[in-house]
Amino acid sequence: MKKVNVTPLFDNVLIKPLQAEEKLPSGIVLPDTAKEKPQIGQVMAIGSGTTNVKGKKVKMAVKVGQKVMYKKWGGNEVKVGGEEWMIVEQKDILAIVE
């Protein structure tokens, strides 16, 4: 995994989207214009966490290197090393993919 010089703040997570499938299970190859943005990516960096309304520290549930599924609409696209990555809040991560 490459070293990243971006450190998200609070409960934000930097995600490198994984490539979308180019072929359907039926064998049909999708052109670039028909591909949806991927909703699965690899966690590249995480923030230090946040606090809840009672002032208690909320621990980060994901770790660098994990594959995660995140909400389709949410987060911010950022350029890292010429690639389009996402910064999303931890609450916008739906699942850890194994």
Beta-carbon contacts of residue 20 (< 8 Å; ≥ 6 apart): 30, 35, 36, 37, 38
* Domains of the chain and CATH, by start: 12-97 (2.30.33.40)
Lookup: tokens for 46: 């995480």
Give residue-wise pLDDT tens across range 67-78. 999 998 878 999
Q: How confident is the model at residue 5 (pLDDT cuts 50, 70, 90)?
A: confident
Task: Report the pLDDT value the prediction gives residue 30, as an integer from 0 to 100.
Answer: 58
Lookup: tokens for 10: 């609070």
pTM: 0.78
CA distance 97 to 82: 26
CA distance 15 to 83: 11
Q: How far is CA 57 from the centre of its chain?
A: 22
